[in-house]
A and B are shown apart, each in its own frame.
Chain A
Amino acid sequence: MSDSSGGGRTYYLGLSTSGHDPALALLDDGGQVLFAEATERFLQDKRAWGAAPDHPGHLAAVLAAHCEAGARVVVATSWTRLKAELPTDTMDNLLPAAEGAWLRTQQKRAHADAGDSLARLLPAGVAHERRDFDHHLCHAAYACHGAPFDAATCLVLDGEGEVGAVSLYRYRDGRLARTWRSWGPGSLGTYYGWLTGACGFDWKAGEEWKVMGLAAFGTPRPELLDALSQMLHIEAGRPRLPEPDRLLALMARLAPARRAPSAPLMTAADLAASGQAAYAGFADAVLAACASDGQENLVLTGGCALNSSYNGSLAGRHGFRAVHVPSAPGDDGNAVGAALLAWMQDHPGQPLPRARQGAAGSAYLGSRPDPAVIAAVACHAGGFRVRDLGAGSAGYLAERLAAGRIVGVMRGAAEYGPRALGHRSILADPRPAAMKDRINRQVKGREPYRPFAPMLPAERVGDWFQRDQASPYMSFALPWREARREQVPAVVHADGSGRLQTVGADEEPWLRALLAAFEARSGVPILLNTSFNVMGKPIVHSVQDALAVLATTGLDAVLLEDLLVEKDAP
């Protein structure tokens, strides 16, 4: 902590206490987010199951960097109670009982002691106070705080909540009011988790992406879609499970289509496509109960808002004028939401604080690369070519990318949420068709079918995609224009879509300069952008993490701020 007296100041420490995807966020007494980051980044352990959201090492660094000494800290958690306190048969029985029990234990561990690390870190005599907040209200507060609207309908579409998995809010005049919420088992998130297991993947490892990606290779089969569509029914927007006997009968019907984890991937493609189609049906039925008059904006959040394939289908349907999905719609985002709600309690009459200006700006809330370690790399990275590119880094990098090099970029504050948006990204030329295989095989160690995302200037979307829609956080997969697909095959998915990141004209000047320089060399204003990690690991956190990926994969170079660390061309 800095030396100046902070005796009068109050900070708000938001903690995501679900037991999966723990995260912390720090707000100042003006309601501005100073920092937010998932614990998995600090620990380099994907999803950080069971880890404390106020992990002492992580929290110590954050307090030291952002808090004045002697300040008061209010702890805000993202649940009002321990799930273990409720009867177990009220829980979702799409999951095996043992997994449900384990989930409750994880939440108990993360929630029960949340904030206790402050006792170790704060000076003696500085008290902290803890407040607990409704889980879905945390989702809604975080999502609306970053939305580009003053008024909206906010739908939380989640795996679970305090009493059920769906909540609907009305956002007006800086206030959130709940319209309704679902009760009991019946959850689109749990359904997708079940589907992930049926396709031979592991929801606990967050492999829902693999189902979404695989769906593009399959075709919905009527007999599968018929059974899957009955696994939930939606009553006035509320998802309900069928009777247990009925559910077992449906699962028995679907059993022959299940893929064993060791079986060939493509044997689950039709199941994935059918399951994604059934999901779209459920989500459409929920949205049909959130009626809009055509003038209303939609804020969509909760873990299900990561289904970019479904999100991309929303424009122009259900009567909503525009759709906003935040960068961290999953439970990591709740750390900011909880902190915002605690701030609002202390500032009655004031509206929900708004995120920093600029759509993308609100996503870059995490750690910065340590300049001392970058300086050490410049001295000690023997065997690599190291050069400080200074102010010309965007132009030089564009030239290297156009020459076919695959480069990991670590610049500025890390993204909040699962998508790399150019600060912790692996970038490459989208023109060679072989680029996708090369990165999947030699860099990320992923399944060969997995797609990569395009990054492009926001004002160019209409030239390249069939719909002109902003997507600053890669929340929407949109169909490419037919004629454009062969120009950038490495970022066109099997169904002709791309989960794009748009960079607005007044946001991210370095990324804008990079895209412009790349277009000048290649003729396309688009780069392949994938998260800077290897399969099974979170996005890199430290400079050392970034260099480990360079040294242990086929990555060609790493750009640390403006310092390029490059291998010799093979």
Chain B
Amino acid sequence: MNRVERERIVAFLRERILQRTGLPEARLDNDTPLTDLGIKSVDVVLISGEIEDHFDLEVDPVMMFEYRTVDAVADRLLVLLERA
């Protein structure tokens, strides 16, 4: 169940990041810090808001800056969703 859930979260994050940044899909590594990919922090913030709305969670404004990769953010969201 957790693996399916995690894949769903990763897919959502990748889709939102690609949509907001126009980055080619091949360049979006799940284990590379988003800022190293040239993603602006304003986009990181807007994606945080989309996560909050989509998963109906309270997201901390610095979460995406602390858990800097798609993988780390997905793991963090799994924890938050289990707690929620």
Task: List residues of A whose CB falls within 8 A of some B CB.
Answer: 81, 85-87, 89-90, 162-164, 178, 180-185, 238, 240
Contacts and interface: CB of A to CB of B under 8 A. Distances in A.
A456 B50 CA distance: 47
Contact of B52 (A81, A86, A89, A183): A183
B41 to A, nearest CB: 4
A183 B46 contact: yes
B49 A163 contact: yes
Given A89-B40, A180-B53, A183-B52, A163 B62 contact: no
Nearest to B43: A184
Nearest to A185: B42
Given A180-B53, A183-B52, A86 B46 contact: no
Interface string B8-52: 000000000000000000000000000000001110111011101
Contacts of B42: 89-90, 184-185
Interface of B is mostly: helix
Contacts of A164: 49
A89 B53 CA distance: 22
Interface core residue of A90, A162, A178, A185 (most chain B CB under 10 Å): A90
Contacts of B40: 89
Contact of A86 (B49, B50, B62): B62
A89 B39 CA distance: 12
Contacts, number: 39
Contacts of B58: 178
Given A162-B61, A163-B61, A184-B46, A87 B41 contact: yes
A89 B42 CA distance: 6
23 contacts: A81-B61, A85-B62, A86-B61, A86-B62, A87-B41, A87-B65, A89-B40, A89-B42, A90-B41, A90-B42, A162-B61, A163-B48, A163-B61, A180-B52, A180-B53, A181-B52, A182-B49, A183-B45, A183-B48, A183-B52, A184-B42, A184-B45, A184-B49
Interface of B: 40-42, 44-46, 48-50, 52-53, 58, 61-62, 65
Given A90-B45, A163-B45, A183-B50, 12 more contacts: A86-B62, A87-B65, A90-B42, A163-B49, A180-B52, A180-B53, A183-B45, A183-B48, A183-B49, A184-B42, A184-B45, A240-B46
Contacts of A86: 61-62
Contacts of B65: 87
Contacts of B61: 81, 86, 162-163
A248 B48 CA distance: 26
Nearest to A180: B53
Nearest to A87: B41
Contacts of B44: 90
B47 to A, nearest CB: 9
A238 B53 CA distance: 11
A238 B45 contact: no
A238 B49 contact: yes
A377 to B, nearest CB: 52
A164 B50 CA distance: 13
Contacts of A180: 52-53
Nearest to A186: B46
A85 B42 CA distance: 14
Contacts of B49: 163-164, 181-184, 238
B39 to A, nearest CB: 11
A81 B61 CA distance: 10
Smallest CB-CB A-B distances: 9 pairs: A183-B49, A87-B41, A90-B45, A184-B45, A184-B46, A163-B61, A90-B42, A89-B41, A89-B42
A171 to B, nearest CB: 18
Contacts of B50: 183
Contacts of A85: 62
A180 B40 CA distance: 24
A275 B84 CA distance: 43
Contacts of A184: 42, 45-46, 49
Contacts of B48: 163, 183
Which of A181, A184, A238 is most buried by chain B, counting CB atoms within 10 A of its CB? A184
